[in-house]
Structures are given as structure tokens and as C-alpha cells.
Structure 1
């Protein structure tokens, strides 16, 4: 594979545009019914059954909390996968049992990116925790509403977006705690749509608006104190922005949701899984923070900059231009995977393709990363765990489909193969196959 070169022309152009049910009645999702498929299936069964039936949450695919948070972002950084997922698209969902540090990571990231002027009483002013409630069924719980008098009722979410716009060079970390207590696609519908509307226009990252400009103008007519209520009474530049463009998605906003995948939580829909990267937190290491002093919840001397964790690329073609040969390999692997998923409800589209290309590109550009075929498989393995395997759940999954996926992953994608093995060994007639 060729070395990646930082092509200035491409960079300039980017700046301008920017988932064992034993259901023997249904084999309709099996793709290979010939003798070779039967042979492969037997081979995969042997491989899968040779794995020890461990607790389902024992997986090396997970992210581990560290007591330190290095400010140098390189290939060996303990949070490389998470940070590169953020750089690919600033929307993560962290899953795991209670008390494994899901929300702590979000707070840690805020500490590590917070400049001195936003350090408020020892707390990072670029961090907002919102506890999702089980009765959130509409988006008004998030973006607010206009009362009968025409006065807009602003929410903590909206206030945080406005604050992020006031500090555009600092990452702002929004943590939606236990975000699956309610259906995400209901209360967070606006965000799920708006994050897909992002577009580079004359060097500025634009999007659709949470609150349109016309609504600001209407509310201002009946509420002269509007600007003071949202903290921009003397900021004429910000006032003008909201009156002409509305409240759009701040380019420096990072949304991290936490989820306990138990009976109390709602399943994530395909709409959500298609947009977010899923990061699993590990089993508990009871020595973590005991034998070493925690420095993750302390302000660093030099905070991590927005450029280090915020990506310019929005589309796969932009990443492809950096490394076309590696891009061809990624696309060919995704095409092979798509053939396995053909005629199933688990097929993926352009979002996953783009995410794979962009994620691999960001990783290749890290100091210490190698650019070869093995690295492509390593990074694509991580993409499959974050973006594709979480979709594979429920009674629509047949054993033959799992076997075909095991065949696909067994020699090249060790983390995905291990997870699929756990899914097969953990299946039962009540839950079927499940990533969770």
C-alpha cells in the first residue's frame, strides 16, 4: 500500500465543501446454499463452538477507562478509537453496565478540552449533562417551545448550543445520560435530522436550524428581553446570526449518549444506529484509580484543541481522495459484506460507507500509524463493531446469517469474529441473536 500524503489541494477542497435463534422454519436469509456453503458453515460451527462460552460482556472490542488522558493524540493513545469516532462524526453512544464510566468519559473529555476562560469553579464550562426522562415523547423536551404569550421557553439543551456558538474554538461536550430511557428518535428527532444536513459553505460549516430565524424574529417582537435571557444582550454579532440564520448546529458540539442495555431501556432504531458510533465500556477493573492517581478529571496545562478531535470531512469521497488504493480495499470489503446481508433488514447504505472511509483516513493520519493492508483491516474491524454489528439483533437473524458473517470475519476481523461468536453462543429461543 502506498503511503498517505497530505495533498494540499484535497485539503483545500475539503475546507470548501466539507449490527442462536433456533428458528429452523426460516432460512430465507441464507445466501450460499451450495456444498461450499455447507462446508463453510460446518467449519464456522467448529470455530465458534471451540470458543469458551464466556460471559457475553467479555470482549476485547471495548474501550477501557484510563486514570490518565494523554494530550498527545497518536496511534497509541488509550482513547484513540473513541476520539477518531468523534472526529468521524460527533455523535457517540456509550453502552455498558451501570458504573463503568460512560458519563465519566464525557466529563473527562470536557476537562481535557476546557481552556482557562471556561473553567468555572473547578468545573468545565464546556460540559452539560442532561438526564433523559422516560416520559420524553416529543422534541419540545429538548429544543423548547413557544408559550401562549409567544414567549419562547428555552431548555438547557438550547442554552448549551448558544454557549457553544459563543466559544466556537472550544469543543463543547453534551452528555445525554441514560438516553434510551425514552425512544431517541422521538425526543431527539431534530438533532438526528440536522446532523445530516451539515454542509460547508464558503469555509463555514452550516446546517438546518433548531430554532429558525423567523421564530427568533417573532419572539423578539413580544419579548424584548429575549437576548438577555439567552446571554447575548450585548453580542450584536450573535444576535444578527440568529436573526438571519437561526440557531444551527454548532460545529464544535460533541454529543455523547450513555445507555444501559437492560430491560428498562428502549432499543435503538436503525435511524439512530445509522448515525451514531457505538462504543462499549468494559467490565469493572476494581483497581482502576486505586493504585494510581486520577488525572483525567483535572485540567491539563495545554487543553486538547478543537482541530485535534473535530474532522473536516463530511463525505466518503473526500477521504477516498487521500488514499484511493486503501479506499478501494475498504469499498470491496463493504461490497462483500453487503452481499451477505442481501435480502435481510440489516443492510447498510452510504452513511456506513462514508463513516468507514473517513474513520480509516483519520486513523491513518495519526502519528505512529502504519499505512498497509493489515491496518485497513484493523480499522475496518473497529468500524464493524461500532457501526454494523449493533444492527444485527432480533428474531430476524438466522443462524445461517451469523455463520456467513463468521466466515467473512474469521481471518481478517478478529474483534468482530469474537463478538459474532459470543452472539451465537449467547442466543436463545427467547431473545434470538443479539449484539447487546
Structure 2
């Protein structure tokens, strides 16, 4: 029966109805007193106004809407949509719920109806003028629902449209449903991007809660407990590897940090984190970054992944100030160099602005991705932003963390990977420490705002000659078997800089941050020792020299590294092979 609503879709000019109403010129326009450079097609105008003839009295809601100037555009838009059954069906299909949707040119039978309704969306302020030439138009109806009085007027308009197709409040052989049963049957609530319950509340005069869930919802003054060991390594480098026995909290620590920094935690607990269980046999990056699909029903598209979805959010102007976390569980079940090589390259080039940033997905791939997200209001604007920026990039606010276990089913990391990461070993501890009876030397209380600032602000430039001297001594020991280059030296220096920033700028008073030898100990553990592995012939002399290096005048100056080297030496003597991660 909706097919009885069939006002002209193809004539231009209905968008001007909004301008006429906002100026309170509707009666004058109908009487010919107020004119436009190009008149509105009369059948189209009658369909939008809901009248058979322009000489008959207009419904009272056209006068009453003048009391709500900010809603006039939206009200006109609703009137236009409910002037033709095709518009109604397209908006049902375009709805993404949550008061939003995306209009697609491909869903219209011809171009003119699409350009007309696109113009109405822009003029009503339901979408931005930036989409004036776009084939995909995201729209937001939430401002309309802030006023319950406007809902009452829309109810009168809908009643009139139903009556125009033969519905009556008194049941008949053709229509047996009451008003709300009928609009549910026709799925009018989807036109409004609401649930049926929400639409009924609004049509009965109740304003709806339209408060956005954005970054400002986080309480930056809230004081939380944070692991400074983890925080410092992430600040120094976006790529972190966590190794250690199963059950030592490798994944938990990152999840806890991500949850603490999640601005939308009450709405989406995984908003700023994605968890990727690595599977055996990954040979390329398609599991992470997706692939072109030439066989979809919409022609060639780009198949997305949870990681690409996260990068779209992280790249957006709305969320560029939010830390995002990617956890690779059991990262070494496949060769990391095979499936993660693209990321390793992009993370490095991003640190050198003079080289120019290379995108993870280029503009052509993003346009194909839009077809995959055809009816998803959340992601289409994010993809459009990425297209405007020239591609989807690995942005500075994304942190990659891999958890590692070593057994007969896993692979060792190559020097190429270890060179580009910090490595934290999570060892098992006494039960009393696990249950918080003893104080952990790395934990401190900070405000969420300070954690945001520490992670995301640009790190200060500084250098430490004493560190260079230390690294020279290490290089003399390792140059024949395990040499390291400029990247490792720079990242060791970065670590000292960001650790001192945490201590001084944010007034974090922990012993490990205050003692320079403790920081040097961490550098050995996280950047130098992880690359060391081999048999007796390769390691016996190197381990002896490194153990001696950790001692000075009979004192152990780097206790964590010394302890680890002794353990590696013991395993070497027993098995004939040893390494940092075994």
C-alpha cells in the first residue's frame, strides 16, 4: 500500500522547501508573493506538504514547526522522505541504527532522486556539505530527537501519510492494525534509524538521549595504578614483545592498560584494542591487513580485518589522541618475518619524516573497502578521512604487542625482528607477590591524563654520552657474533630519555627509574641480550665476557642481566644450546 505515496522524485527544487520554511515564507510562496529563481515542481511540493491541492488548508504542523527553528530542516527532510515509497524503502535499507545511516547512490533507480535527497540531507544539516558530490552520504538524525515536541508533530505527519494510503484509525478489511502496529509493520522506525521502542517514545513527545559517546567521556583526572615498566617500553617503541612462561600475565597487563585508557569503556570494552590469535602456517599479511576480493556480489571489494578496523579509528581526527593496542597472542606460532614484515617496515619508515610515510592501504584499496562497509555509518566516515589523507597509515598512537612462548611448535625470532622491538621477560614469581602481598617495584599511581600525555606527546630530544660509552663496551664483546647497529643504539638512547621524562616530568619516584644502572640493566635485558642464542662454541666465551661486564669492582651493577646470563650459561652447560628466549 505504500506505493500510493508516489510524489515526483525526479524534478529539481524540493530542497528549496527548507529555505522557504526557515524564512517563514511558505504561505507567501504558495500564493505567489514570494518567488524563487527556480520554482519547486508543484506535484513534488504537494507530495512533501501532504495535500491534494495547494489551495486547500495546509496541515497545522507546517505552522507549528516554526516554533522550533533548529528542527525545521529535519522536519522537511522527513516530509520529503515520506512523500514517496522508494525514499522510504531506501532509508530503511540505509539505516545503521543508533540514529545514523548511510545513503548510497547505487540504491536508487536513477541519479536524479539520489541527488535530490542528497541535497535535502545537506540542506537539513543531517549531513555535511563535503558530501555534495559523494556517492555515499553518511547522515546523522540524532539532533532531531532532542525535542519531544517535534516528535508529536512528526506523529501527525505520519498519521496523515498513512491516511493518504487508505489506513484509518478504525480497523477495516484493508488495514486491521492500529497506528503503532502499522508503522512497525512498515518498519518506519528504521527510516528514523531508531528501535521501534525509541520511535514510539519520541512520537509520544519524549526527547531521546542523543549524547554522543566520545573521547571526552573519559575522566582524565582519575588516578589509576599503572605498570611503568610496560609504559616506558611502549613510549620508547611502538613494537613490544613479551616473553615468559604461560600464566605470568603477559596478555593481562596490556589488556588492563588498554581498558584503563579506553574512552568508550562503558559502550565498547574493546574499542581501543584488538586481540589477534596467531595461527600456525601464516605465510603472508592477508590475515592482518585483508585482501582484494574480485568475486563479491558488489564486484571487486576489499576484505577487511579487525586490525584494519582499528587502524581506521586510530587514523581518524576524532580518535587520533587515543592510544590503541594490538595484541598478537602466540606471535611466534608462525614466522613473524613472513606475516608481519609490512608492519616492521612501516613502523620504521614512520620514524623518518624525510622518507615520507607509506600507507598500509592506498586510496584505491580504501575505495574498495568502502564497498565492504556499504551500510556501516561508523566506518564510512573513517574511510573517507583516510582517503582524504592519501591512505591508511600505521599511526603513532597504535602499539603492537606480541606474546611469546617457546616450545616445539614455535619459531625463534630473527635478528631483523628483535632489532625492531623491545623485549620484556615476564618471569614467574612467588605466590605472595602474585597476590599483591609484596609491593611491585614497577607500579605507581598516575592520572589517566598523565598516562595519555606520556604515551602520546612527542618525546624530548636528548643524548647520553655515558650510555654510548656503555654500548661501546658491549659492542667490543659482541661485534664478532652478535653485532648491533645504529637503530639499537638510538632506541637504547630513546629508552633512557623517556624513562627520565617519566621520572622528572610526571614526578614518578621509583627506585628503578632513579638509578642509572637500573636503566642500563633494562636496556641490556630488552635490547641487547634477546638476540643472543647459539651452541657452546658460539656462546661460551660471549656469556663469560658479558657476565664479567655486569660486574664492576666485585659488585654486580646490572643484577637482572647478570641473573639472566647465569641462567643462560647453566642451560648451555646442560643442553649444549642456549638463548635469551628458550
TM-score (structure 2 length as normaliser): 0.53
1:185, 1:272 within 8 Å by CA — same for their partners in 2?
yes
Name the structure 1 match of 2:453. 307
C-alpha offsets along residues 81-131 of structure 1, whole Å, 9 cap, x if unaligned? Answer: 21111000121111111111111111101111112x34335x242121111
C-alpha offsets along residues 136-155 of structure 1, whole Å, 9 cap, x if unaligned? Answer: 11111111110124210111
Q: Please tell me whether residue 198 in structure 1 is matched to residue 345 in structure 2.
A: no
* Counterpart Cα distance in 2 of 1:301 and 1:371: 20
Name the structure 2 match of 1:151. 301
Q: 1:101 aligns with which of 235, 246, 249?
A: 249
Paired residue secondary structure (2:515)? helix
Paired residue secondary structure (1:176)? strand
Name the structure 2 match of 1:213. 363
Name the structure 1 match of 2:260. 112
* Counterpart Cα distance in 1 of 2:402 and 2:513: 33
- Pairwise CA distance, 1:409: 1.4
Q: 1:165 aligns with which of 315, 319, 322?
A: 315
Q: Which moved more, 1:128-137 or 1:375-384?
A: 375-384
Q: 1:336 aligns with which of 455, 469, 473?
A: 473
RMSD: 3.2
Q: Please tell me whether residue 382 in structure 1 is matched to residue 519 in structure 2.
A: no
- Pairwise CA distance, 1:259: 0.9
- Pairwise CA distance, 1:177: 0.7
2:278, 2:329 within 8 Å by CA — same for their partners in 1?
yes
Name the structure 2 match of 1:134. 280
Q: 1:290 to 1:329 in 2, by over 3 A?
A: closer
- Please show how residues 58-137 of structure 1 align to structure 2 within 5 Å: 79-115=227-263, 117-120=264-267, 123-137=269-283
- Please show how residues 398-409 of structure 1 align to structure 2 within 5 Å: 398-409=539-550
By relative contact order (CA 8 Å, sep 6+), the higher-ranking structure is: 1
- Pairwise CA distance, 1:287: 4.7
* Counterpart Cα distance in 1 of 2:242 and 2:329: 10
Name the structure 2 match of 1:319. 462
2:475, 2:483 within 8 Å by CA — same for their partners in 1?
yes
* Counterpart Cα distance in 2 of 1:336 and 1:301: 39
Q: 1:230 to 1:364 in 2, by over 3 A?
A: same
* Counterpart Cα distance in 1 of 2:385 and 2:514: 51
- Pairwise CA distance, 1:227: 5.8
Name the structure 2 match of 1:5. none
Structure 1 residues not aligned, in runs of 5+: 1-69, 293-299, 321-326
* Counterpart Cα distance in 2 of 1:170 and 1:386: 26
Q: 1:119 to 1:394 in 2, by over 3 A?
A: farther
Name the structure 2 match of 1:249. 394
| Count of residue pairs brought into register by the alignment | 338
- Pairwise CA distance, 1:428: 3.6
Structure 2 residues not aligned, in runs of 5+: 1-220, 438-445
2:293, 2:303 within 8 Å by CA — same for their partners in 1?
yes
**Structure that is richer in helix per residue:** 2
Q: Which moved more, 1:280-289 or 1:363-372?
A: 363-372
